[in-house]
């Protein structure tokens, strides 16, 4: 028992483990995630409905999206892709969750919208298509390791048209400073989020001050199995984010406090970037 508890509380190296598949492809967990996506009152899997409305309106006006080709990486159940297609954009959505993609496709069919949905880990996504705008919203970029982020930016560069843009958001150093290391234990942790059966849930939060990374490490113990879910988050200064883009050949056009075009505030807990391929 002591060794098991020791393992639960072990601190891994930053981004040592990658368990996105366990989070997004598990049949039960994906159902919970979809319910959070579709709850327009909260900011959990997706932004709240009012924010998404403002965000899409700003994207439409800023990028003049009619007849433009847009790829949404981590599109979920199509909360952005549906609205963008309704505004005459040609849209591709990529997401790891089969359940979310099916929901998005059902909505598109019902609305009579021609949207190309791809059920795939976007780290593995390849295409001969070229896009005018790439979106990665809800701080998905922060969940990737440095090597994964570099691979994604190189992929984006490859599939963007000259002059094409990326819009994505990240967590700031202000948000990092507010995070604290902690450990907790709970029966049926997060109101049964991890399993339909009874389980014991451990949460260990680790901060990595040098790398500006936070890990929420969930250990889920059921009668027949034990799972560990690693939820990594990278936090950025605007200089470090700009550097990652510029190293991959992009020119940073502007920074905002969010993907709805709010003016940049250095104290904001999140911020957004627009970068272009020239």
Of the listed ranges 33-47, 62-76, 129-143, 197-211, the least confidently predicted one is 33-47
In the numeric block, which tokens belong to residue 244?
């990652």
Domain residue ranges of the chain, discontinuous segments joined by +:
27-171+235-277
Residue with the bigger pLDDT between 65 and 38: it is 65
**59: its two tokens:** 């994207």
Residue 32 DSSP symbol: H
Rounded Cα gap, residues 274 and 108, in angstroms: 28
- Average pLDDT (12-36) is 89
Give the model confidence (pLDDT) of 174-195 as tens digits: 999 999 999 999 999 999 999 9
Backbone angles phi, psi at 48, to 5 degrees: -70, 160
Comparing CA positions, the residue from 133, 152, 153 lying closest to residue 259 is 133
Whole-angstrom distance, CA of residue 192 vs CA of residue 33: 12
In this prediction, residue 249 carries a pLDDT of: 97
DSSP assignments along 166-214, one per residue: EEEEEEEHHHHHH---EEEEEETHHHHTS-SS--EEEEEEEEETTTTEE
Tallying the residues shown for the chain, one arrives at: 278
pTM equals: 0.95
Mean pLDDT for the chain overall: 95
pLDDT band at 44 (very low <50, low <70, confident <90, very high): low
Residue 183: what pLDDT? 97
pLDDT at residue 46 greater than cutoff 90: no
Q: Is residue 46 within 8 Å of residue 79, measured between CB atoms? A: yes
pLDDT digits (tens, 9 = 90+) for 143-169: 999 999 999 999 999 999 999 999 999
What percent of the chain clears pLDDT 70, i.e. is strictly above it? 99
Specify the fold of 27-171+235-277.
Rossmann fold (3.40.50)
- At 124, list the tokens: 């593995």
Q: Residue 12 carries which DSSP code? A: P
| CA atoms of 166 and 220, how far apart (whole Å) | 36
């Amino acid at each position: 028992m002591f060794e098991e508890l020791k393992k639960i509380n072990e601190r891994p190296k930053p981004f040592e483990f990658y368990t996105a598949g366990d989070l997004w492809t598990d049949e039960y967990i994906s159902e919970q995630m979809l319910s959070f996506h579709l709850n327009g009152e909260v900011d959990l899997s997706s932004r709240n409905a009012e924010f998404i409305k403002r965000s899409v309106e700003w994207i439409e006006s800023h990028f003049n999206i009619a007849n433009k080709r847009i790829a949404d990486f981590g599109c979920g159940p199509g909360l952005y892709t549906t609205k963008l297609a309704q505004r005459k954009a040609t849209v591709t959505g990529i997401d790891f969750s089969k359940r979310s993609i099916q929901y998005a496709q059902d909505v598109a069919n019902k609305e009579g919208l021609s949207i190309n949905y791809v059920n795939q880990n976007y780290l593995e996504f390849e295409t001969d298509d070229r896009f005018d705008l790439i979106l990665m919203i809800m701080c998905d970029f922060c969940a990737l390791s440095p090597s994964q982020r570099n691979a994604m930016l190189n992929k984006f560069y490859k599939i963007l048209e000259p002059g094409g843009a990326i819009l994505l958001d990240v967590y700031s150093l202000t948000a990092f400073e507010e995070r604290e290391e902690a450990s907790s234990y709970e029966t049926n942790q997060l109101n049964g989020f991890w399993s339909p059966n009874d389980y014991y849930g451990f949460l260990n939060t680790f901060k990595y001050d040098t790398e500006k990374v936070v890990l929420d490490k969930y250990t889920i113990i059921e009668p027949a199995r034990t799972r560990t879910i690693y939820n990594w988050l990278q936090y950025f200064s605007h200089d470090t984010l700009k550097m990652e883009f510029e190293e991959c050949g992009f020119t940073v056009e502007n920074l905002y406090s969010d993907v709805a075009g709010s003016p940049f505030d250095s104290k904001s807990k999140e911020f957004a970037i627009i970068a272009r391929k020239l």
